[in-house]
Amino acid sequence: MIRPPLDPLPPRPVLFDLDGTLADTIPLLLASMRAAYAIVGGTPPDERAWLAGMGKPLRTQLATFEHDADRIEAIAVAYRDWQYANLAEYVKPFADMHALVDALQARGHPVAVVTGKGSPMALATLEQVGLRDALPVVVGADHTTRHKPEAEPLLHACARLGVESARGVYVGDAPNDILAARAAGMADVWVTWGPFTLRDLLPLVPTHVVYTPADILELLDRLDDDERRARSAA
């Protein structure tokens, strides 16, 4: 039996984490934490423990280490003020990220940023690395009531893009990114250029691993090939 040709696949939605994925912000995050504690007082968290909370809103992250609401607020304000003041010195673009975003747009992929940062800082970060105009859809911590590792921010981004989440991918560097992608029913893609190693991710095992931004384009092609084969066999 000759099967009719399959309808072409629409470009997959591609959502990105920001810190450690689109932009090299880790030096700023750690320096901001140390500076905030120097201003407010107290012993700062261990750096690895601090990074383990990446993807969560700042005050939620601080609540892992602090239990007094006034102190959390004071540290958060000092952190944000220092971060804004030192953004340009510490934040750098990752190599080839502009080329990746340009290629995704040329191929018609709906693209958005989903981050645990508040949207003003997220937009300032994207401006610093030259990606703000290329990535106008940004979902920050102030856009949803639930945050990574839950699905709501990713689903909100898909709603803003006007796309279904089922064929989407979420690209990130942290355990919370993998969990959020799976909660949203999206493919999780872990990038190796962030601060985490595979050992850090255990017991999670990423479904997809990429080593360079260009690998993301190849992965999207493979996902489409797999979907075509599955549809052809159905």
Q: In what order do the strands lie in the sheet with 208-210?
A: 138-139, 111-114, 14-16, 169-172, 187-191, 208-210
Residue 129, amino acid: V
In angstroms and rounded to an integer, the radius of gyration of the C-alpha atoms of the chain is: 19
Whole-angstrom distance between the N-terminal and C-terminal Cα of the chain? 13
* Cβ partners under 8 Å of residue 82, min gap 6: 31, 32, 35, 36, 39
Query: Strand 23-24 relative to strand 187-191: parallel, antiparallel, unpaired?
Result: unpaired
Residue of 17, 19, 177, 188 marked catalytic: 17
Give bridge partners of residue 113 from the DSSP assignment: 16, 138
Is 17 a catalytic site residue? Answer: yes
Element spanning 75, H or E: helix 69-90
Residue positions annotated with a catalytic role: 17
